Amino acid sequence: MATYVIGDLQGCLDPLIELLAQIQFDPAHDQAWFVGDIVNRGPQSLECLRYVKNMGDAAKTVLGNHDFHLLASYLGVEKYRAKSDTLDPILEADDADELIDWFRQQPLMIQDALHPWVMVHAGIPPQWTISEAAVYAQELQDVMCSPRWEAFIRDHLFGSKTRTWHPTLTGWERYRYIVNAFARMRYCDAKGKLEFKTKSHPQHFNHPEYLPWFAHPNRRNKDHQIFFGHWSTLGAMDAYQVHATDTGCLWGGELTAYCADTQIRHSVRCPCYADPKPASSS
Ligand SMILES: [Mn+2]
């Protein structure tokens, strides 16, 4: 029995099938943890979404920024639409309502019951402990599981207005920081003020205050191993008690399965499914 953390699929199903075969994934005994961004940009977004859903109890997934983008597109929110989107087959599918209904209720953070392992899409801000992060993730999931999810996605999702956190933040602003942190963050300051513009590798970004979220010396969630995706320019990285799993499947890189038990990385090479220059998207 093993737990594999699988990097951003972004609509690339064939590499996933190959990877699961390579690790001899056994759905009766093993767990696949998907770091989110299951859909968009790649050619098989609909197939990826159905595949992960059909894995049932053998799979867990957290929501990434592209997944929220799908939910916005489903609700007809135009402002996030991009030419490079590959979401139409999902929106036009006979089972679209059922898929979206399932997908929107997925968590932002997953914690293992036995080990100090946590998975999120983008990261956990340095000022949050793991137990605080779990509470905030649950707050947003509660909204997404309620009829309020449509109002949140339509009118309050993303936007770079809410960049700073305070525990007394309330209402939509509070949820917006929470989703921005879990699903979009790369760089932030020591208090979790988010920086949205930079996507590059830390080697190419020097700033007196903003560091990669995981690199802050006083980060309060260092007592867990954190698995995340989202940051394709970072590539495979095991340092700071965090494990980066977005190895650029979409861009002709690799799809990664990181085995949490053995700490071994498995990967398959991928054809390039998209323009090699990453398009801009939250
Ligand atoms: Mn992402």
Measured distance CA(144)–CA(42) in Å, rounded: 25
Cα(28) to ligand 1 centroid in Å equals 29
Predicted pLDDT at 276: 57
Cα(262) to ligand 1 centroid in Å equals 26
Predicted pLDDT at 247: 95
Measured distance CA(224)–CA(270) in Å, rounded: 30
The whole model's pTM is what?
0.95
Integer CA distances (angstroms), 152 to 75, 81, 261, in order = 11, 17, 37
Cα(186) to ligand 1 centroid in Å equals 10
Cα(229) to ligand 1 centroid in Å equals 7
Q: What averages of pLDDT result for each successive group of 10 residues across the chain (282 residues)?
A: 97 96 98 98 96 98 97 89 89 97 98 97 98 98 98 87 91 95 97 93 90 97 98 96 95 95 96 64 45
Predicted pLDDT at 281: 46
Strands 225-228 and 237-239, sheet pairing: unpaired
Three-class DSSP category at 118? strand
Predicted pLDDT at 84: 87
Cα(109) to ligand 1 centroid in Å equals 14
Cα(68) to ligand 1 centroid in Å equals 10
Measured distance CA(164)–CA(188) in Å, rounded: 9
Cα(66) to ligand 1 centroid in Å equals 6
Cα(231) to ligand 1 centroid in Å equals 7
Cα(219) to ligand 1 centroid in Å equals 22
Annotate 17-56 with DSSP letters as a single string.
Answer: HHHHHHTT--TTT-EEEE-S--SSSSTTHHHHHHHHHHTG
Task: Quote the tokens at residue 98.
Answer: 């059922």
Domain ranges of the chain: 3-269
Largest Cα–Cα distance of the chain, in whole Å?
51
Predicted pLDDT at 161: 78
Q: Which of 72, 269, 38 is nearest to 159 (CA)?
A: 72
Question: Which residues are placed with Cβ below 5 angstroms of ligand 1, an ion?
Answer: 37, 64-65, 230
Cα(64) to ligand 1 centroid in Å equals 5
Asked if residue 48 lies in contact with residue 78, where contact means CB atoms within 8 angstroms, the answer is: no
Cα(274) to ligand 1 centroid in Å equals 15
Length of the chain measured in residues: 282
Cα(47) to ligand 1 centroid in Å equals 19
Q: Which of 252, 201, 199, 258 is nearest to 228 (CA)?
A: 258
Predicted pLDDT at 277: 54
Predicted pLDDT at 136: 98
Cα(107) to ligand 1 centroid in Å equals 15
Q: Which fold has domain 3-269?
A: Purple Acid Phosphatase; chain A, domain 2 (3.60.21)
Annotate 64-116 with DSSP letters as a single string.
Answer: -HHHHHHHHHHTT--TT--TT---HHHHTSTTHHHHHHHHTT--SEEE-SSSS
- Cα 4 vs. chain centroid, distance in angstroms? 15
Cα(223) to ligand 1 centroid in Å equals 24
Task: Quote the tokens at residue 126.
Answer: 């340095």
Cα(150) to ligand 1 centroid in Å equals 21
Cα(282) to ligand 1 centroid in Å equals 8
How many other CB atoms are found less than 10 A from the CB of residue 146? 12
Predicted pLDDT at 162: 81
Predicted pLDDT at 282: 44
